[in-house]
Amino acid sequence: MSERSLGKDLLGLESLTAEQITLILDTAEPFKEVSERPIKKVPTLRGKTIVNLFFEASTRTRISFEFAEKRLSADTVNVAALGSSVQKGETLVDTARNLEAMRIDMVVIRHPSSGAAQFLAERIRSNVVNAGDGTHEHPTQALLDLLTLRDKFGRIAGLKVCICGDVLHSRVARSNIWGLLKLGAEVAVCGPPSLMPLGIEELGVTVFRRIEDAIQWADVLNVLRLQLERMHAGFIPSLREYYRVFGVTVERLERAPKDLVILHPGPMNRGVEIDSRVADGPHSVILHQVTNGVAVRMAVLYLLAGGRPELAEAAKGKGEVAE
Ligand code: CP
């Protein structure tokens, strides 16, 4: 596979090179401008049909993909487990093969099972984009986080980024760790031992047990949601206790040697992992992340469809990102 292409599918950042990740971020730059126009549409994917298979709840990712597809002029269909033949016991592959029989081009899939996106990609001809599979990866979330950090600091290399909270259940953490390390950042994680995967240090990250230590070290905190729906045992004593010990609060940040940039992938549990005054404060880039999500997803869809990044860049500002 060329460093200037992504291949057939985007399943995770673990399998991408630094050059491929940078290619996606660079390709997203001209697409940012499309969303700022009065008419937010370019003809880039005219004639392509994309199916969004969302078998797990989503606000940001599902709507962001849908906006990205529509702004690229693709035809889109949304399928949820509820109301589809999945409820009657149809398998994932049978659902996808039936959609392919209607001549689709791409599938964007969110699924509660780790590995579901790869399983599908190996069995259908269409391009597959992983929109979050179980606790495995959420590559477009990490890409939009990287783009947001690059906007803020002008670089990724050398940044000290601490991913805080429920790392155990977090596909966002895994994709961020792969992406940040490949682009030369220093990465740490911080959270209670019960929410930390065994052997996480072997990925090349530092582990902090106290949020105060993480705040002293970091340039950036990426604060994770406590994934209560994936917790089937007593991982934490109580939400109040978690906030008291690990909550990212104004008081804790005031003791930092510098202003820390705050990311959160959403949806947030305000008053659990993050103080509302931090989430809405001057150093939060949480809504900037959401804005960048559309541009990153446009870039991913464009590249998987065979688009050439130099044409996207050349067309910037001319009202037509390259066909
Ligand atoms: N960040 C994220 O994946 O949010 P949603 O679950 O709302 O898509």
Query: pLDDT tens digits for 26-74?
Result: 999 999 999 999 999 999 999 999 999 999 999 999 999 999 999 999 9
Q: Residue 308: is its pLDDT beyond 90?
A: no
Radius of gyration of the chain (CA): 20
Ligand 1 environment, Cβ below 6 A = 58-61, 132, 138, 141, 265-267
Please, which pLDDT band fits residue 323 given cuts at 50, 70 and 90? Answer: very low
Average pLDDT score, the chain: 93
Q: Using CA positions, which residue lies closest to atom 1 of ligand 1? A: 265
CA of 266 to the centre of ligand 1 (A): 6
Atom of ligand 1 nearest to the CA of 59: 7
Q: Using CA positions, which residue lies closest to atom 6 of ligand 1? A: 58
* Whole-number pLDDT of residue 315: 56
Which of 52, 53, 56, 61 for mutating ligand 1's site (highest number of atoms within 8 Å of CB)? 61
User: Once rounded to an integer, what is the mean pLDDT over residues 297-317?
Assistant: 80
Lowest pLDDT segment from 81-90, 123-132, 259-268:
81-90
In terms of pTM, does the model score above 0.75?
yes
Q: Using CA positions, which residue lies closest to atom 4 of ligand 1? A: 60
Mind telling me the catalytic residues?
Answer: 60-61, 88, 110, 138
User: Once rounded to an integer, what is the mean pLDDT over residues 125-136?
Assistant: 97
* Whole-number pLDDT of residue 307: 79
Q: Residue 276: is its pLDDT beyond 80?
A: yes
Are the C-beta atoms of residues 279 and 286 closer than 8 Å to each other? yes
Q: Using CA positions, which residue lies closest to atom 5 of ligand 1? A: 58
